[in-house]
Structures are given as C-alpha cells and as structure tokens.
Amino acid sequence: MKLTKLQKWGIAAAVVPVLLVIAFYVHSWLPYYEADPPPETGEVRDIPSSLFDRALSAYYERQTDEPIVAIIRQDIIAQFGAISPDGQYLAIGGSVIRDLCIASITEKRVVRKFAIRSGNVNAIAYSPDGRYLATGRGFMSHMRHSNSINLWDARTGRLIRNLPGPKGPETHLNDVTSLAFSPDGRTLAASFEPQPDKADEVHIFDVESGRRIRTMHPSTYTYTLYFLNGGKHLAYEDGYERSFVVHDVDTGNQARRFKLDAAYAPSPDGQTLAAGTRDKELKIVDMKTGRELRTLGSARGYHRRLVYSPDGRHLAALSDDGLFIWDVEAGKVVRQLRGYPDIMGHWMGFDAAGNHFAAVCNKYVVVWDFRKLVSAGRKN
C-alpha cells in the first residue's frame, strides 16, 4: 500500500520523538571520556547546566508521592557518597570513577568535578564544619601509588594535600575502605585494605599538617568508621567476622567488641547500637553493657545498611525487602521508601540538621525531605 504524504508526515511525527527519547536515554548511560587526563595536583571542572537533567529529575519526582527534593543523574555508575553538613551539596564517587562529582541539591545536577590523575573513589567524607572534603582512593593492579587520600577545600575544590597509604608505592595495599572526620574536624581516620603480617590498618592523621599521628588494630577488612563519644572512641565494622569494634583513640587499645554477626549503626550519642542480624532481626543494643534493649522487627531478607538520623529518633534500614524508616522509640516503621529509580548503592546518609536524607542508587542519587517524610508517615 502506498502511503500518502499526510500519512508519512504522521509517522515521522510519531517516530521522531521516540527516537529522541531513546537517544537521550542511551546518552545518559555512556561513560564520560576525555583526551587529556588531569594533573596529579588536582583539577576543578565546572559542569554546564543541563535541561535534560532537570527534566529527568522532575519526571521521576512525579512518579511517587514521596517528598523527593531531587533525583540527580550520574554519567557513570556510583556507589559512594557524602552530604555536606549544611545539606546543600552531595559528593559522589565510585569504584570506576576517578573524578569526585559535586552535585547541588537545589540545582538537581552535578555542578563540579574534582579530578586527579589516577585512582578511583572508594570513600568520601565531609568535615563537620564543611570546610574539608576527603576522598579515599583505590588503584588498579598495575598502578604503583601511595597517595591514597586527597584532602580538598570543599568550597573551592583546591587540592590541599595528598596523604600516604601504609605501604609505600604499592597497589591494593594502599586502597582506602573508609574515612571519618573527628567531631572537632582536627583529625581524619582512614581504614585501608587488610595488611600482611597483621600490620595496623586504621590510621589517624592530623588534618592541618597531614601528619600520621596514630595507627591501630590488627589487620581485618574494615567497613564504615565512626567517631563516638565526642571523639574519644573510634569504631568500625569488622567485615570478616561481622562484628562491631570500639577502640580508645588515645591509647589505640580495643575497648569493646560486639559479635552479633550483623550490619551495624551506632546512635549519634554513642549509647546504643542498631544491629541487623544474620537471623534477619533488627535489634537495639546498649553500647555499655551489650544488653539487648529491644527488637524492632524482622525482615524476610538480610539487612545490608543501617544509619541513624542525627537526632537518634529514626533509623533508616536497607534490607533485601526494601528501604524502611523506623521510629526507634515507638518500634514501628514510619515509611517504606520506593521512590528510588535504580538499585541501592553502598551509601545513604543525612545532613547535620536531619533535613535531608540521601541515597546513592547506581546512576542516580535520590534526596528526600526527611522532615516531611516522617511527618507524612506518622499521619498514615
């Protein structure tokens, strides 16, 4: 059958928008390449605004009744993040990302990239005053490199200094697994890949001078670091035996260990410990006595990540069942979150005031208005 001119125009009018949508989608998944790598001293790149990014965020926001503030697209899959204390910016990285991406929550897009010549982003931390931003690096097997930590001026992006790993110009032994600033922002704790011969794996640096001032504990795979009790204690998750270990910062000695075979999160005041155990229960434990205070509930699947809100009243729990916000005192779920467009990454967290809750979800970072979230949850 021969098509009329009007029919041809009609088909073109229907097909062209579809092709444009497909092109935008494919483009969003393409990695970012560049001909000239950045210098070893670091480089700041401003990213132009994108109408597509705003449109994409608006589209996903309309798909849910959750109070989502922004859904920010990444050009490469991300796993790690940190939110600035004032809740204005997100720092984002991943195991295949060399650049540290800085996203504006208000603008709903990546606005800057802090670039360095080698190493991907394994860990990120803001100092409590928002002045510094630290990135922990991982290196490919052929790279001999010891500049494991980059300390940046969070406002300007200037690379202040590089901090060394524990093993000179070696490869994976200098890979960083976690970072944490002390509450006063004067020291930075870093954990590295397990070291041979049970060498010390957690190192504490003086931020102002860059000097390594302390190392602690026999080698193990260390997950998230936490400063507790005003910086008197440093805690971490032992990835091998799934325990939670607390050390005295001044002496470096182990103060206590919780062996619950779980994913963990300490409360902001350091008094209680949330544990998503292997038997799929979510428990609250007294940090001083180790006594179980309550069981919030159970899940069909394992708990993967936990994080307390800054006031300690709520607990975000990611399990194989989904992402839930718990009221700790009431012992009930306030809200189950479903508004994220991709699978969850390795980070979720709050700003200092508890206004925003954010999570890395592969090619996206989702930011919720947390106060509206829990307020609406109480009404339902």
pLDDT band at 32 (very low <50, low <70, confident <90, very high): very low
Mean pLDDT, the chain, integer = 85
Domain boundaries, the chain: 1-30, 45-379
User: In the numeric block, which tokens belong to residue 86?
Assistant: 């004032």
Whether residue 11 has pLDDT greater than 70:
no
pLDDT at 333: 93
Condensed to tens digits (0 to 9), the pLDDT of residues 245-283 reads: 999 999 888 899 999 999 999 999 999 999 998 888 999
- What pLDDT is stored for residue 37 in this prediction? 65
Q: Residues 358, 349: contact at Cβ < 8 Å? A: yes
Q: Tell me the DSSP string of 59-71.
A: HHHTT-SS-EEEE
Residue 40 pLDDT > 70, yes or no? no
16: pLDDT strictly greater than 70: no
Q: What are the backbone angles phi and psi of residue 40, rounded to the nearest 5°?
A: -65, -25
Cα 226 to Cα 21: distance, rounded to the nearest angstrom: 44
Q: How many CA atoms lie within 13 A of 156 on its CB side?
A: 5
Please tell me the predicted confidence (pLDDT) of residue 33.
47
Assess contact for 225 and 238: CB atoms under 8 A: no
> Residue 12's pLDDT is what?
64
Q: Are 100 and 135 in contact (CB under 8 A)?
A: yes
Percent of the chain with pLDDT over 90: 51
pLDDT at 257: 93
Query: Was domain 45-379 assigned CATH 2.130.10.10?
Result: yes
318-351 pLDDT, tens per residue?
A: 988 889 999 999 999 999 998 887 778 889 999 9
pLDDT tens readout for residues 166-210 = 887 766 778 899 999 999 999 999 998 877 776 678 899 999 999
> What letters, b where the CB count within 10 A reaches 16 and e where it falls short, cover 272-305?
bbbbbbeebbbbbbebeeeeeeeebeebeebbeb
- Phi and psi of 64, rounded to 5°? -140, 155
Mean pLDDT, rounded, for 91-109 = 89
Q: Which pLDDT band holds residue 217 (cuts at 50, 70, 90)?
A: confident
pLDDT higher than threshold 80 for residue 48: yes
Residue 21 pLDDT:
57
